[in-house]
Structure 1
Amino acid sequence: MSERSRLALVVWGVLVSQVFLYPGLDETVTALGGGESILAGTWFLVAEFGAFVVCAVLWGIASDSLGSRTPLVVLGATGGAASYLAVALAPSIGLGFDVVLLLRVVGGAFTIGAFSLSITMLMDLSGGNGRNMGAAGTAIGLGAALGSVVGGQLTALHPLAPLYGGAALLAGAALLGATVPDRSSGGGLPVGTVVDRVRTRPKLVVPFAFGYIDRLTAGFFALTGVAYFRDTFEIDAATAGITLALFFVPFAVFQYPVGSLSDRIGRFIPVVVGSLLYGVAIIAVALAPGYYLAAGLMVVVGLCGALVSPTTMALVTDIVPATERGAAMGGFNVFGSLGMLSGFLVGGTVTELYGYFPAFLAAGGLEIAIAILASRSVHRITTTERESHLA
Structure 2
Amino acid sequence: MSSVRRDRILLATVVFAVMLAQVLLYPGVPDLVDAVGASTSLDASMWFLAAEFAAFVAFAGAWGALSDGLGRRIPLVVAGALGGAVGYLALALLPAALSLSFLGVLALRALQGATTIGAFSLSMTTLMDLEGGHGKNMGAAGIAIGLGTAVGAPLGGQLYAVSPLLPLYAASGLLVCAAVLALPISDRAPGEGSEERGRVARALATLTERPVLGLPYVFGFVDRFTAGFFALVGTVYFREAFGLDAAATGVMLGLFFAPFALLQYPFGVLSDRIGRKGPIVVGSALYGLAVVGVGVSPTVAVAGAGMVVVGVIGALMSPATMALVTDLSADSARGTAMAGFNVFGSLGFLAGILVGGTVADEFGFLAAFLVAGALETAIALASIPAFLRIDLDAERSAFGG
Range into which the TM-score falls when normalised by the shorter chain: over 0.9
How big is each residue's C-alpha offset from its partner over 1:171-210, in whole Å with a ceiling of 9 and x where there is no partner? Answer: 1001101111101111232112222344211101111111
* Aligned amino acid, residue 25 of structure 2: L
User: Please, what TM-score do these two structures have when normalized by structure 1?
Assistant: 0.97
Aligned to 2:238: 229
Deviation at 1:379, TM superposition (A): 2.0
Residues 1:87 and 2:91 aligned together: yes
Q: How many angstroms apart in 1 are the aligned matches of 2:60 and 2:137? A: 20
* Aligned amino acid, residue 189 of structure 2: S
Q: How many angstroms apart in 2 are the aligned matches of 1:33 and 1:385? A: 55
Deviation at 1:224, TM superposition (A): 0.1
Q: Secondary structure at the match of 1:90?
A: helix
Residues 1:50 and 2:80 aligned together: no
Residues 1:31 and 2:27 aligned together: no
* Aligned amino acid, residue 253 of structure 1: L
- Contact 2:328–2:395 (8 Å) recurs in 1: no
Structure 1 segment 329-368 matched on structure 2, within 5 A: 329-368=338-377
Structure 1 segment 105-120 matched on structure 2, within 5 A: 105-120=110-125
Which deviates more, 73-82 or 290-299? Answer: 290-299
Residue from 177, 184, 187 that aligns with 1:182:
187
Deviation at 1:223, TM superposition (A): 0.4
- Contact 1:267–1:382 (8 Å) recurs in 2: no
- Contact 2:207–2:214 (8 Å) recurs in 1: no
* Aligned amino acid, residue 332 of structure 1: F
How big is each residue's C-alpha offset from its partner over 1:43-82, in whole Å with a ceiling of 9 and x where there is no partner? Answer: 1111111111110000000000000000000000000000
Deviation at 1:388, TM superposition (A): 4.2
Aligned to 2:168: 163
How big is each residue's C-alpha offset from its partner over 1:141-192, in whole Å with a ceiling of 9 and x where there is no partner? Answer: 1100111011000000000000000000011001101111101111232112
Residues 1:196 and 2:205 aligned together: yes
Residue from 272, 295, 299 that aligns with 2:281:
272
Deviation at 1:98, TM superposition (A): 2.1
Q: Secondary structure at the match of 2:205?
A: helix
Residues 1:286 and 2:290 aligned together: no
Q: How many angstroms apart in 2 are the aligned matches of 1:381 and 1:16? A: 36
Residues 1:255 and 2:264 aligned together: yes
**How has the CA–CA distance of structure 1 residues 234 and 332 changed in structure 2, closer, same or farther, with 3 Å as cutoff?**
same
Q: Secondary structure at the match of 1:2?
A: helix
* Aligned amino acid, residue 94 of structure 1: L
* Aligned amino acid, residue 16 of structure 1: L
Q: How many angstroms apart in 1 are the aligned matches of 2:117 and 2:396? A: 34
Q: How many angstroms apart in 1 are the aligned matches of 2:6 and 2:343? A: 28
* Aligned amino acid, residue 178 of structure 1: L
* Aligned amino acid, residue 318 of structure 1: D
Deviation at 1:387, TM superposition (A): 8.0
Q: Secondary structure at the match of 1:179?
A: coil
- Contact 2:292–2:369 (8 Å) recurs in 1: yes
Aligned to 2:20: 16
Aligned to 1:3: 7
How big is each residue's C-alpha offset from its partner over 1:249-273, in whole Å with a ceiling of 9 and x where there is no partner? Answer: 0001111111111111111110011
Structure 1 segment 239-250 matched on structure 2, within 5 A: 239-250=248-259
Deviation at 1:386, TM superposition (A): 8.2
* Aligned amino acid, residue 45 of structure 2: G
Which deviates more, 89-98 or 166-175? Answer: 89-98
Which deviates more, 186-195 or 153-162? Answer: 186-195
Deviation at 1:385, TM superposition (A): 4.6
User: Please, what TM-score do these two structures have when normalized by structure 2?
Assistant: 0.94
Aligned to 1:376: 385
Aligned to 2:126: 121
Q: How many angstroms apart in 1 are the aligned matches of 2:144 and 2:370? A: 28
Q: How many angstroms apart in 1 are the aligned matches of 2:105 and 2:58? A: 19
**How has the CA–CA distance of structure 1 residues 234 and 193 changed in structure 2, closer, same or farther, with 3 Å as cutoff?**
same
User: How well do the aligned residues superpose, as a CA RMSD in angstroms?
Assistant: 1.4
- Contact 1:153–1:238 (8 Å) recurs in 2: yes
Q: How many angstroms apart in 2 are the aligned matches of 1:21 and 1:349? A: 20
Q: How many angstroms apart in 2 are the aligned matches of 1:387 and 1:248? A: 32
* Aligned amino acid, residue 346 of structure 1: V
Structure 1 segment 128-143 matched on structure 2, within 5 A: 128-143=133-148
- Contact 2:43–2:361 (8 Å) recurs in 1: no
In the alignment of these two chains, the number of paired residues is 389
* Aligned amino acid, residue 34 of structure 1: A
* Aligned amino acid, residue 353 of structure 2: F
Q: How many angstroms apart in 2 are the aligned matches of 1:382 and 1:156? A: 52
How big is each residue's C-alpha offset from its partner over 1:200-245, in whole Å with a ceiling of 9 and x where there is no partner? Answer: 1110111111111211111000000111111100010000000100
| Percentage of matched positions with identical amino acids | 54
- Contact 2:36–2:96 (8 Å) recurs in 1: no
Residue from 305, 317, 321 that aligns with 2:314:
305
Which deviates more, 358-367 or 313-322? Answer: 358-367
- Contact 2:327–2:396 (8 Å) recurs in 1: no
- Contact 2:63–2:339 (8 Å) recurs in 1: yes
Which deviates more, 130-139 or 65-74? Answer: 130-139
**How has the CA–CA distance of structure 1 residues 186 and 198 changed in structure 2, closer, same or farther, with 3 Å as cutoff?**
farther
Deviation at 1:382, TM superposition (A): 5.2
- Contact 2:35–2:165 (8 Å) recurs in 1: yes
